[in-house]
Homo-oligomer: A and B are copies of this chain.
Amino acid sequence: MTDSSMDNASAARCLVNGHLGAAVPVTDRGLAYGDGVFETMRVGRGQIALLDYHLNRLRRGLAALRMPVDLAATVLELEAEAERLHTGVIKLTLTRGTGRRGYAIPAEFTPTRICQSFPLVSHAPEHAREGVRLFECQTRLALQPMLAGIKHLNRLEQVLARSEWSDPDYAEGLVRDTQGNVIECTMSNLFLLENGRWVTPDLGSCGVQGVMRDYLIDQLARIGEPVSIRSVPMATVLSSDEVFCCNSLYGVWPVVGLAQSRWPVGPRTRRVQALAEQVLV
C-alpha cells in the first residue's frame, strides 16, 4: 500500500464492519468478483435523504445476488453516521465477505460492511439552474435481466462510458443498450416529456434503478402526472419537449443539449426539480 493510497483512503471517515478502518482483506469477494452492492446517499440535517428508497434497492440487490443479510445493524449505523456527519455523502458497500479462491459462494459467509462518510460534492450550481449538455457515449449496456436495476459492484460498463469524454462542457453522458435503446446516463436516470406526458426508460434488462427516479415516479403519480416506463429509442429523446436527468445526490438537472438537439429549460422540468429539492435539504 503506497503512502498516496493511504492518504486517499483516510480522506473520509470510514467504518469497516462497525470499526474505524480503511482497508479490506485482499480475499474479500467484493474485490475478487465485484460480489456485493453499494448505495451512495445524500445526508442533510443529520438525516439520509430517501433512506427508505435506498434500503429498498439494497434489499432487491441482496436478493438478486442471493445474499441474505439482516439490515438492522446497517440501518442503525447509517443513522448514527448521518447524525455525526450532518451534511455530506455516505457511501455504503456490502460485500459477500472473504472467501477462498473460486466463484462458489461459501456455505457460511460474513458480509463485509463498509460505511464511508464524505463532505458534500460541490456540483456546479449552474447545472441545476441553466441545464446541462449530454455527451453521447459509444459504450453500450449489455442486456442482463438478472442484474438489471440493482446497484452491484460490477460497474465496468459505467467506467468505460464515463472514460469517453473529459470536456467539462458535458456534465453527463447518455448511454444506450446494445440494441440501441436509450437507458440512462452514466450516474443518473433520464426522464423526457412527450406530448405532455413523462416517460422514463424501462430498466428491465439493464441500467441502474435510481432512488431519485423511483421517488419522482411516486411523486409525479401523486400529483396526477403518471410516468410511462417503456423502451425509448434515441429519436424519441431527440424529439421530446423537455428532458432532464436526476440522481439522489444532485437532484434534477435540466438537459439543454444532446447531439444536434437544443432545449430551453422547460416549466414542467422546473416543477419536478422542486419536488427533488424538497428531499435534498
Query: CB within 8 Å of B: which residues of A?
Result: 1-2, 4-6, 8-9, 11, 14, 16-17, 19, 21-35, 38, 40, 65-66, 89, 91, 93, 95, 97-105, 110, 112, 114, 116, 118, 121, 139-140, 142-144, 146-147, 152-163, 178, 186-187, 206
Contacts and interface: CB of A to CB of B under 8 A. Distances in A.
B17 A186 contact: no
A32 B29 CA distance: 12
B33 A155 contact: yes
Given A21-B1, A158-B33, A26 B153 contact: no
A99 B163 CA distance: 14
B97 A35 contact: no
A14 B1 CA distance: 12
A25 B40 contact: no
Contact of A156 (B1, B6, B21, B152): B152
Nearest to A152: B156
Contacts of A27: 5, 8-9, 11, 22, 116
Contacts of A105: 159, 162-163
